[in-house]
Amino acid sequence: MGTRSARIAAALTVIDTPTGQDVVYARLEARLSPADAAALCGIHRTTYLRQERGQTRVSLAVYRLLLVMGGLMPWPDWAGWQCVEGRIYPPWDERRGYAPADVLRLEWVYQQLSAERARVRALSQDRGSGGATPGVVETTTGR
């Protein structure tokens, strides 16, 4: 996954006011021609090229769409995350990506964790009130 050139990786940061050069870097990372980028963004090729050349204000939507197409997540909470060949990679581990099934499993994990927390709370309340602990049979000795 670490094939991204250092120049482009450094240039592709999450910014709110992109320049024409930022759009060029994003387009190159997405491996698109200017005509393909314009078509993807739903704007005329001339309008797109004016943005790349800095002749007009760069659309934040155009910039972010190109970043997404290049595999980057252009939102502050996702800084450093990348999407490559259908897997998302966190910034701290470029070797282990997460497939859609991994992400979908998170809901099940949260449900199981929530149920376990509720069970622990119930156990704590029973012990605090002097009640019997569910599933535990109390025995007495015959003295």
Q: What are the boundaries of each domain within the chain?
A: 6-98, 100-133
Summarised one tens digit per residue, pLDDT across range 6-33 is 445 545 566 778 999 999 999 998 999 9
Topology of the domain comprising 6-98: 434 Repressor (Amino-terminal Domain) (1.10.260)
How many other CB atoms are found less than 10 A from the CB of residue 78?
A: 15
Higher-confidence residue: 19 or 74?
A: 19
DSSP-assigned states of every residue in 55-73: SSPPPHHHHHHHHHHTTB-
pTM of the model: 0.59
